[in-house]
Structure 1
Amino acid sequence: MPILRNCELRVPEGQLWMLLGPNGSGKSTLLKILAGLLNPTCGTVYVDRPKSFVFQNPDHQIVMPTVEADVAFGLGKFNLTAEEVQNRVSKALDSVGMSRYLKRPVQTLSGGQKQRVAIAGALAESCKVLLLDELTTFLDEKDQVGVIKAVKNSVATEQVAALWVTHRLDELKYADGAFCMEDGRIVMQMDGSSIANFLRNR
């Protein structure tokens, strides 16, 4: 029996869209297929490249001892000068509000700050599609808001299309649109005005 069926979605550049649904509805599976971490058994997947995936737990993604070194880590696969690397790192950290932590050891950061460093690492690679898997699951309320606002700011600034998997309805107020999943299908799509009406009527 297939996990996903007839899933079609489009996220415009410069916008943050949420992917909602109950546990087991297929949200994370769909996100990992879009990221290339899982291969579908049939069908066609097309994602504008380059794309980046940010894990639920930043400790699964951060590998270097300092903020600067970690954001620069993924740039080793590109043929960049030291100046170009430095410029990309600075721009990415600025977009998520972490510029003043450039030299900080990663182990001294809060969970939300680590998550923003992971997002900066993705942006430094000049990704055009950002795939985010329940980033606020392990964070306190203050860090939750900080991470969402950092993503919202960087998506608009860098003209990135971002898809954020969540089960928290209160995070919808930060979204430009949303898709709802049930039993492996996209069953509803909401634009900004539809989300506003939905939240008012909760």
Structure 2
Amino acid sequence: MSQNAINVNNLSFNWQINTPILDSCSFSIPQGEFWMLLGANGSGKSTLLNLLAGLLEPREGNIETIQPLGFVFQNPDRQLVMPTVGADIAFGLVRENLTYPETLARVREALNAVGLLDLQRRPIYALSGGQKQRIAIAGEIARNCQVLILDEPTALLDPDTQIELVQQVRTLVKERNLTALWVTHRLNELDYCDGAFLLERGKIGDRGDPQRLKRRLEKEEK
């Protein structure tokens, strides 16, 4: 039995004293698996990801994750800050004090992992939305992140690019033994994950087989 890459136990968080966003929320994700998180608007999905990433402090409960952990935003323009693809990925490695050849090798290996090695010198502004998201993911791979959390990464993409990206992430998870938690509203994306959670009223209301959750939610939409 594989160990868990993410363990969340009795997590509670609120912005206002009497308005809980998360209430004793608990779940785990095994290492090497690709899970998705669903829930209505305002259910706390993005807040949960921010807590996992350490950008917020919980009121109660604890979080354990394999490190390093990488965060991919819904809008990649929020995290791509350098003028070119290669420079942006290299920027995320500054704290590691690598030599230039080591940095270049990490950049090229990460770009190759997402199938964009030929774009190393491409200006960021010249990329499509899907390419930007893959570059954001490459930046986390270059840092050797073992856990990826992705906040609705296909929200701004066209339908074909949406499927390409989710397939790419699944491939990365399986080939590199990574762990990913992907937030989505799109039920068709459940076809590519190992399991899924449904966040309801601040807790995990349902979890498990993604096809079962997909059928349940499709019925509720009718």
The TM-score, its normalising length taken from structure 1, stands at: 0.93
Match of 1:195 in 2: 210
Q: Structure 2: which amino acid aligns with 1:147?
A: L
Superposed structure 1 runs of 4+ greater than 6 Å apart: none
Match of 1:155 in 2: 173
Query: Does residue 80 of structure 2 align to residue 62 of structure 1?
Result: yes
Tell me the number of residue pairs that the alignment of Structure 1 and Structure 2 aligns: 199
Counterparts of 2:172 and 2:88 in 1: how far apart (Å)?
18
Counterparts of 2:60 and 2:185 in 1: how far apart (Å)?
27
Give 3-state SS (helix, strand or coil) of 2:163's partner.
helix
Gapped regions of structure 1 (runs ≥ 5): none
Query: Does residue 193 of structure 2 align to residue 175 of structure 1?
Result: yes
Query: Does residue 101 of structure 2 align to residue 83 of structure 1?
Result: yes
Measured on the aligned residues, the alpha-carbon RMSD in Å equals: 1.5
Aligned with residue 142 of structure 1, among 132, 146, 160: 160
Query: Does residue 183 of structure 2 align to residue 165 of structure 1?
Result: yes
Give 3-state SS (helix, strand or coil) of 1:3's partner.
strand
Q: Structure 2: which amino acid aligns with 1:59?
A: D
Match of 2:28 in 1: 10
Structure 2 counterparts to residues 13-92 of structure 1, below 5 A: 13-92=31-110
C-alpha offsets along residues 19-69 of structure 1, whole Å, 9 cap, x if unaligned?
011111111111110011111122212222110111100000001111111
Gapped regions of structure 2 (runs ≥ 5): 1-17
Question: Taking CA–CA contacts closer than 8 Å with sequence separation of 6 or more, which of the two structures ends up with the larger relative contact order?
Answer: 1
In the alignment, is the contact (CA less than 8 A) between 1:14 and 1:157 conserved in 2?
no
Counterparts of 1:55 and 1:89 in 2: how far apart (Å)?
20
In the alignment, is the contact (CA less than 8 A) between 1:96 and 1:153 conserved in 2?
no
